[in-house]
Structure 1
Amino acid sequence: MAQTQTGQAGTGIGARDDVSRPTLRISVTGPLSVVTSDGREVTPPGAKTQGLVALLALSPGLRRSRRWIEDKLWSDFGPEQASANLRQALTKLRAAFGPAADAVRADRTSVGFDPERVTVATRLPAGHAAPGRDLLEGIDVRDAEFEDWLRGERARHAAEIEASRPVRATGVLMSCRTEVHDSTLQALFGEILSNQIGESIAEQVRAWRRSGRHTGTHAGAAQEDPTSDLEIACDLLGGSDGARVYIRIVHLPSARMLYSKLQKLDDPQDILSSSPAISALVFEAADRALAMLPQAVDRARPEARATALSRLALYRMFSFEPASLREADDLLTQAHEADANGVYTAWRSLIRTIQMIELLEPDPQALREEMVELNRRALEEGPDNALVQALLSQVRVMALGDAAGGLDLARQSVDRNPTSAFGWLSLSVSRMLAGDQTEAIALSARAREIARFSPFRQWWDLYHCIVCVACNAPAAAIEAGEAAARAAPSFRPAHRHLLALYALEGRLDKAEETARRLARIEPGFTLDRFVNDDTYPVRTLRTKGLLEPVRALL
């Protein structure tokens, strides 16, 4: 986030400051404030009107599309009512601005501020900023979409403030330990498991692992190794009813528990083979620890800032919403600026792929060129990162049709980290493109099982649905598509596939219900476009001839 946003007039208010054209200064640090060039306070009353000012003030170029604004302020309303509400808010805003009302610019598609008339200050003047002042304090719009947007903006604002103190990214230090209770073999199993969790964390944040076994108590371990940030401990316990493993991930400086779980094991040997059950345990532990990491580690550290930004980005990205994908790309750009980790570049390459496939941006060729460049850069920045390899494999298969290159990266990813759901998914998609139907479905099912506790599990459900469609397994495809739709009710790709699959099975009532839902969540959706527009993003359904049954609904 830039410190100020200005137009050609420069950084100050006064380049075109005269009586006939008063200018405005909007402050967003602390409570929202709008002041004219002659010092009059013209902050509009009303939460929604203030929310409109906030959205525009923090938008690129001080402008947004009407639909984007309506989605943030009136997400529970239908399109017509949301548009009427926006018109009313603009009327109130112009009335509050008085002589500066014409600084508000609106047309049929977008709303914005005149950048030559409006300056946005995202920091209070030196000497006036109280420590800990938040962005847009006290604003109360009461819309879930606005609150989600505001959390992202506050994270960016906090990252910018903290970034003003130069700190070198040295990486999170993790001690991977096991405690010996019965046998040396059990200790080895525990050490392998703790290192698998550590490796999965290190794929997503700059981190270093320290390995070692010891006897004694956990408290003693903390005293032995006070320099580590995290301790990952896995203790295997025998019993008459079978073995169990107790996993705990602790932030050592504060002794805060980031994750813990007691899990029964069918066979400790499963740790050596990275069975789906063990992989799911590793994947869950790493994901939960990463989610908690920014709250435990000093936020001034680049690793913590980058992790917080990237987690927000993933929540936005996996919605597949056009505006959310752009916000996710911006968040990942900031994460990379805080810590130049190749995984953030790889995620951005995948975002370009989604935007291109979903036809969400006006220039697909530009998207493709950016995607290819980001793909190249990510491999340079993270050549040995299994998650980078998995993400870039999907990009090469989905967008570039590079079956051989995608398969090579997918195999490297799985060999390097066999507990990652991302790696198995990339291998499944590669096998699907190669025509190996049985293996593609089995690999996708394994990836889905590993990711079953992920907050983004709709990603694996969706791709299992697509793989099953491509491999002529419609019943399994419906089950996976319905799971994706349950996990993320506004997830458009899941509903598109379900529409065709329901029609294929003659369940026209379900198909009609799904079409109505798509019309609510996807601007411009029609059944005619779904069936007859060759550019509509249902390539697998079209290739398999599954659009024809939908004609019965036309």
Structure 2
Amino acid sequence: MGVFRVTGPHGTDRTPHSMKSRGLLALLLEAHEFCRARSYLQDHLWSDRQQEQGASSLRQALSEIRRAFGPHRELLETEGNLVRLRRDGVVTDAEDRPPGDLDAVEYLEGLDIRDPEFERWLRDRRQQRAAAYESDLAAPDILAPVGASRPWLVVEKPTGGTVVAEHLGQAIAQGVSDRGPVEMVPDGHAPPSIPEDKAGCILSVGERNDAFGNSVSVQLRSLDNRRVLWTTMAPLDPETGEGLLPQIAPLIGLGIDRIAAELAAPPSPAPGHGAAAAPASLFATVDDMLRTRGRDFKALDTRLQLCFEEEPRGIVLAWKALLRCLAFGERRREDIGLLRDEAKSLVARAVEMEPQNPQVLALASHVYTFVLDKPPVAHELAARALRIDPVNVYGWASTGYAHLSAGHVERAYEALLRARRFTGEGPHRPMIDLLFGMSAIISGRIAEGTATLETVNALLPDFQPPLRFLLAGYLAQGDFPRAEDAKLRLSVLETGFELRDFAEPDYPTPSLRNNTLLDLKNLPRLL
């Protein structure tokens, strides 16, 4: 609050001279993980300039900031399209409340930058802070709303003290955090106070080395009564040629999914308070969205928007984009063009806000394959996700799907086989199995693919995508009776469905159109 100023550890003034450089730092400090894309910074500080001019001005501003930081210049980092401040070396009072009247002090006072985009951003931020401050004054006995619905995850210190167990615990905890806001308590430090009606759990990992060999274990316990919710273990073979990470990857996937399920569950009611309130966390909303495959679009979109208003993170926007993918895939809305535009805009903002979140990148990749039909962009986004998290299930699934839509069927099959191996049993499992079955059919492993999709269809008979690819697989096999049955069942779910729809550019089967399994234009002649 007040005048923008940068000070060194001993009180030395390190504030850049130019207003644009100060504005650049303000934009970084308001970002998740203090990180923004270069394009975002250019659009908000030099929106009236051509791209090359804006890029040159950005470079000059970065140079000025480094000069102002002096011996602390390494705190400002650039990597490709990203600009960030190191969180371990920067402390900000951006979240502090003014001690007196809000009218007496202004947020980022004196930051006068004549760019319409920055002016709009600054005006919005000041209004949001004023509203939050007034809300606090009106209800002083109520906790601040930011993070109010965050579930808790207590991560205990690994037993055995080994690097493998420590990595396993960190990977699970980070994977959960990438999927949504969670109140993380590391290293087993007891939180100061946890409300009795809070959702959450305790994660314990360990490693053993005894006469029976090496093994790692994962256990979840309830937050309220320490009851064991789930436990599992897996052997480790240091002599195997694949290394240790692929061996613990399935445990990471299982652990993330089990924790996500616990965090999505309604919290236990506090004594004397009756039934628990409906869960409001992002985990609960995403769980409902995946289980229902986005059937109640309006209600789910409203819940996701409320989650975003409470904690404006890119991952929330990425889940909103996936909701549009689900609506697109099951053809529940007529405004396909609007769905495309919304999904594209949402993932652009999501990646802009959280460019280092592999879950965001993987979901953006899925949008670019499935809705926008741009496999090269999708593949790049998925590759970035896997560079950050090499065992991210969504990253491998998105990589496989991008390969499939680009016609690289063997690469697609291998990537989706890995995604299927790494995934747990969460509500996204049918989606992973669907993509794997598609890749198996299109790569010529038709029996394997149809067997996988028949299982998905048996569990979710009203889910349209598996039926589409079962129909394609049966036709490729020449199994016309089963193809006719699949067509009839699909026509019940999709009023007016015809085989010629497969060849239409707006029909949600880009991977069939981009491969040579079937001559889609001649399909009507087969049945």
TM-score, structure 2 length as denominator? 0.62
Distance in 2 (CA, whole Å) between partners of 1:406 and 1:244 is 37
Per-residue Cα deviation, 1:359-414 (whole angstroms, up to 9, x for no partner) = 43222222222122111221233222111110001112233343343222212211
Per-residue Cα deviation, 1:53-104 (whole angstroms, up to 9, x for no partner) = xxxxxxxxxxxxxxxxxxxxxxxxxxxxxxxxxxxxxxxxxxxxxxxxxxxx
Identity %: 24
Match of 1:260 in 2: 231
1:517 to 485, 489, 513: 489
Distance in 2 (CA, whole Å) between partners of 1:178 and 1:267 is 23
Match of 2:259 in 1: 289
For the structure 1 residues 352 and 295, does the alpha-carbon distance in structure 2 shift closer, same or farther, using more than 3 Å as the test? Answer: closer
* Partner amino acid, structure 1, of 2:251: L
Question: 1:241 aligned to 2:212?
Answer: yes
Distance in 2 (CA, whole Å) between partners of 1:169 and 1:302 is 16
SS of match in other structure, 2:221: strand
SS of match in other structure, 2:296: helix
Distance in 1 (CA, whole Å) between partners of 2:320 and 2:222 is 30
Question: 1:493 aligned to 2:468?
Answer: no
Contact 1:259–1:289, Cα closer than 8 Å, also in 2: no
Distance in 2 (CA, whole Å) between partners of 1:310 and 1:345 is 12
Deviation at 1:201, TM superposition (A): 0.8
Question: 1:450 aligned to 2:422?
Answer: yes
For the structure 1 residues 464 and 442, does the alpha-carbon distance in structure 2 shift closer, same or farther, using more than 3 Å as the test? Answer: same
Distance in 1 (CA, whole Å) between partners of 2:293 and 2:430 is 12
Contact 1:249–1:258, Cα closer than 8 Å, also in 2: yes
* Partner amino acid, structure 2, of 1:315: R
Distance in 1 (CA, whole Å) between partners of 2:513 and 2:436 is 17
Alignment of 1:470-549 (within 5 A): 470-527=442-499, 529-530=500-501, 535-543=506-514, 544=516, 545-547=518-520
Unaligned runs of 5+ in 1: 1-163, 213-220
Question: 1:313 aligned to 2:289?
Answer: yes
Deviation at 1:470, TM superposition (A): 4.1
Match of 1:121 in 2: none
Distance in 2 (CA, whole Å) between partners of 1:435 and 1:507 is 24
1:206 to 171, 181, 194: 181
* Partner amino acid, structure 2, of 1:167: P
Match of 2:221 in 1: 250
Alignment of 1:144-159 (within 5 A): none
SS of match in other structure, 1:259: strand
Deviation at 1:189, TM superposition (A): 1.1
Contact 2:406–2:511, Cα closer than 8 Å, also in 1: no
Contact 2:502–2:509, Cα closer than 8 Å, also in 1: no
For the structure 1 residues 263 and 369, does the alpha-carbon distance in structure 2 shift closer, same or farther, using more than 3 Å as the test? Answer: same
Distance in 2 (CA, whole Å) between partners of 1:239 and 1:317 is 45
Contact 1:278–1:419, Cα closer than 8 Å, also in 2: no
Distance in 2 (CA, whole Å) between partners of 1:309 and 1:356 is 19
* Partner amino acid, structure 1, of 2:369: V
TM-score, structure 1 length as denominator? 0.59
For the structure 1 residues 540 and 269, does the alpha-carbon distance in structure 2 shift closer, same or farther, using more than 3 Å as the test? Answer: closer
Match of 2:172 in 1: 197
Deviation at 1:297, TM superposition (A): 7.9
Deviation at 1:457, TM superposition (A): 1.4
* Partner amino acid, structure 2, of 1:168: V
Contact 1:313–1:327, Cα closer than 8 Å, also in 2: no
Deviation at 1:199, TM superposition (A): 0.7
Distance in 1 (CA, whole Å) between partners of 2:251 and 2:242 is 10
Alignment of 1:287-436 (within 5 A): 287-293=257-263, 294-296=265-267, 305-317=281-293, 323-356=295-328, 358-436=330-408
* Partner amino acid, structure 2, of 1:282: I
For the structure 1 residues 227 and 249, does the alpha-carbon distance in structure 2 shift closer, same or farther, using more than 3 Å as the test? Answer: farther
Deviation at 1:498, TM superposition (A): 0.8
Distance in 1 (CA, whole Å) between partners of 2:260 and 2:242 is 22
SS of match in other structure, 1:361: coil
Distance in 1 (CA, whole Å) between partners of 2:244 and 2:170 is 14
For the structure 1 residues 251 and 382, does the alpha-carbon distance in structure 2 shift closer, same or farther, using more than 3 Å as the test? Answer: farther
Distance in 1 (CA, whole Å) between partners of 2:391 and 2:482 is 37
Contact 1:306–1:339, Cα closer than 8 Å, also in 2: no
Distance in 1 (CA, whole Å) between partners of 2:523 and 2:404 is 25
Name whichever of 494-503 and 291-300 sits farther off.
291-300
Match of 2:58 in 1: none
SS of match in other structure, 1:405: helix
Distance in 2 (CA, whole Å) between partners of 1:368 and 1:452 is 30
Match of 2:130 in 1: none
For the structure 1 residues 297 and 451, does the alpha-carbon distance in structure 2 shift closer, same or farther, using more than 3 Å as the test? Answer: same
Deviation at 1:493, TM superposition (A): 1.0
Contact 1:280–1:449, Cα closer than 8 Å, also in 2: yes
RMSD between aligned residues: 3.4
* Partner amino acid, structure 2, of 1:305: S
SS of match in other structure, 2:210: coil
Per-residue Cα deviation, 1:291-321 (whole angstroms, up to 9, x for no partner) = 1124348999999633222321222226xxx
For the structure 1 residues 309 and 354, does the alpha-carbon distance in structure 2 shift closer, same or farther, using more than 3 Å as the test? Answer: closer
Deviation at 1:445, TM superposition (A): 0.7
For the structure 1 residues 514 and 357, does the alpha-carbon distance in structure 2 shift closer, same or farther, using more than 3 Å as the test? Answer: closer
For the structure 1 residues 526 and 433, does the alpha-carbon distance in structure 2 shift closer, same or farther, using more than 3 Å as the test? Answer: closer
Distance in 2 (CA, whole Å) between partners of 1:508 and 1:548 is 17
* Partner amino acid, structure 1, of 2:147: A
Distance in 1 (CA, whole Å) between partners of 2:268 and 2:185 is 18
SS of match in other structure, 2:462: coil
Distance in 2 (CA, whole Å) between partners of 1:530 and 1:408 is 29
Per-residue Cα deviation, 1:430-477 (whole angstroms, up to 9, x for no partner) = 333444332221011111122252333110111123333444443343
Distance in 2 (CA, whole Å) between partners of 1:414 and 1:507 is 39
Contact 1:176–1:191, Cα closer than 8 Å, also in 2: no
